[in-house]
Amino acid sequence: MCGTGACPSPICRGCRANVQRIATASEIGIADAVRHAAETKTPLEIVSGGTKRKFGRPVAAETMLDVSAITGIVKYEPEELVITARAATPLAEIEAVLATKKQTLGFAPTDWGPLFGEPKGKATLAGIVATNASGARRVKAGAARDHVIGCRFVNGRGEAIKAGGFVIKNVTGFDLPKLMCGAFGTLGVLTELTLRVTPAPPRVSTLALRTSPQEGLRALREAAKLSLDPTGLAYIPDVFDPDETEGGTGGGLALIRVEGSHAPLEDKLARLTARFAGLDTIVLDDDTTRILFRDIGDGKFLLSRNCDIWRLCVPQSDAHAAVEASGARFWYADWAGGLLWLGLPASEETATQLRFITKKFGGHATLMRGDAAARARLPVFEPEAPARATLTRSVKHAFDPETIFNPGRMYKDL
């Protein structure tokens, strides 16, 4: 319905002919809108909460398909550890419902809205899944794509597709729910998602080690190999410490998060403290740990810096060398060094240097935050090898033959 409340169509185009926004509150309405767009070859920018519109290349579309009204929890089965919700359901709403049964989303979904100037708390389930936005617990529990077990979506032909409950594969041989994760809305319009949930940890705590970046990253890798099931492994350089000098001292905090009930948690902390007895250590309590690792996943340590942001994924063992090669002054590490947040300019020079690093060590570099001109000019995502690029195009064509979904969002001509 439009703002007047008088529009009878499930596809609302607003009250003026020149409003380039289509809003609908149903899957049928989405399918109708997509069929019309495909017939007229009208590109669509797909938006649910809108908190990540500035993540990725600028979309080459003048018409927005607004699905923000597709909300609500469809089914929650605490005993089965499964929840189904409509695509634009706010993450905060889902987390609140899960908390009533002492459950949570195991991949620690992130809220990147503030990085792009959006209010905190507006992230939606579809946005989380479409960007595979996974927090610090990925080091233990895997990414968002590892927790999505079913979905409904509308493809580029305007057909409503359901996949999930068991593995359903398309003609390309892909697991459809996982294929939608990290696709940035380029393959279909998500309308409903089913995810596994996990019991919430009764208590969490962190052992913080004061040490240099090289030694700290080494300690994180060592902690990951211990039989203590750490659920967070991050390193924060002292350049973010307000008590340090402007240039820092070369130290920082290696953070090892563990979970459990009282006695097992205390045992884990004691074993970690004994293992790293040669270092200056401090134990962070439950509240501090939860806030700290939420901030780490949300990119908050770079939020206040007037800088562009890159995310660099490399093998954990090469994290320190990658940081040194990047030349970043403001940076921090998550996933035991497997993910590096870098405050670096959105420039050709930076892109070239980071892609040199990924070629040397393996991995990929992504421009997380930059202005529209930079995101249009630079390869925001890691350029694909020819064989992979061919596969990407074939999958895109299978799901979106007219290339109407978020064109240009990930790659210039796709």
pLDDT in the model for residue 117: 95
Res. 135: pLDDT tops 50: yes
pLDDT in the model for residue 168: 39
Shared-domain flag, residues 147 and 17: yes
Shared-domain flag, residues 193 and 304: no
pLDDT tens-place string over residues 61-97: 999 999 999 999 999 999 999 999 999 999 999 999 9
Res. 44: pLDDT tops 70: yes
Shared-domain flag, residues 144 and 214: no
Shared-domain flag, residues 208 and 191: no
Q: How confident is the model at residue 268 (pLDDT cuts 50, 70, 90)?
A: very high
pLDDT tens-place string over residues 360-411: 999 999 999 999 999 999 999 999 999 999 999 999 999 999 999 999 999 9
Shared-domain flag, residues 19 and 121: yes
Res. 118: pLDDT tops 50: yes
Domain at 143, CATH number: 3.30.465.10
Q: How many domains does the chain have?
A: 2
Res. 19: pLDDT tops 50: no
306 part of a folded domain:
yes
Shared-domain flag, residues 222 and 359: yes
The domain in which residue 124 lies consists of 1-200
412 part of a folded domain:
no
Query: Which of the listed residues 200, 226, 254 is the one where a domain comes to its end?
Result: 200
Shared-domain flag, residues 320 and 218: yes
Q: How confident is the model at residue 352 (pLDDT cuts 50, 70, 90)?
A: very high
Q: How confident is the model at residue 251 (pLDDT cuts 50, 70, 90)?
A: confident
396 part of a folded domain:
no
Query: Which of the listed residues 157, 180, 200 is the one where a domain comes to its end?
Result: 200
Average pLDDT over the chain, rounded to whole? 92
Domain at 250, CATH number: 3.40.462
Shared-domain flag, residues 223 and 336: yes
Res. 127: pLDDT tops 60: yes
Mean pLDDT of 299-323: 96
Shared-domain flag, residues 306 and 368: yes
Shared-domain flag, residues 4 and 112: yes
pLDDT tens-place string over residues 176-206: 999 999 999 999 999 999 999 999 999 999 9
Query: Which of the listed residues 175, 200, 225 is the one where a domain comes to its end?
Result: 200
Mean pLDDT of 97-112: 98
210 part of a folded domain:
yes
From the list 139, 309, 133, 365, the residue with the least C-alpha distance to 234 is 139
Res. 247: pLDDT tops 90: no
Shared-domain flag, residues 184 and 213: no
Res. 249: pLDDT tops 60: no
Mean pLDDT of 216-223: 98
Res. 299: pLDDT tops 90: yes
389 part of a folded domain:
no
What is the CB neighbour count within 10 angstroms for residue 171? 6
pLDDT in the model for residue 239: 79
pLDDT in the model for residue 380: 98
pLDDT tens-place string over residues 149-166: 999 999 999 999 998 743
Shared-domain flag, residues 236 and 106: no
Q: How confident is the model at residue 15 (pLDDT cuts 50, 70, 90)?
A: very low
Res. 3: pLDDT tops 50: no
Q: Which of 106-115, 300-309, 352-361 has the lowest mean pLDDT?
A: 300-309
40 part of a folded domain:
yes
The Cα 160–Cα 167 span in angstroms is 18
pTM above 0.85, yes or no: yes
pLDDT in the model for residue 8: 38
Mean pLDDT of 338-354: 98
Q: How confident is the model at residue 173 (pLDDT cuts 50, 70, 90)?
A: low
247 part of a folded domain:
yes
Q: Which of 168-182, 241-255, 259-273 has the lowest mean pLDDT?
A: 241-255
Mean pLDDT of 242-265: 78
**Could you tell me the two tokens for 108?**
């620690």
Q: How far is C-alpha 354 from the chain's CA centre? A: 20
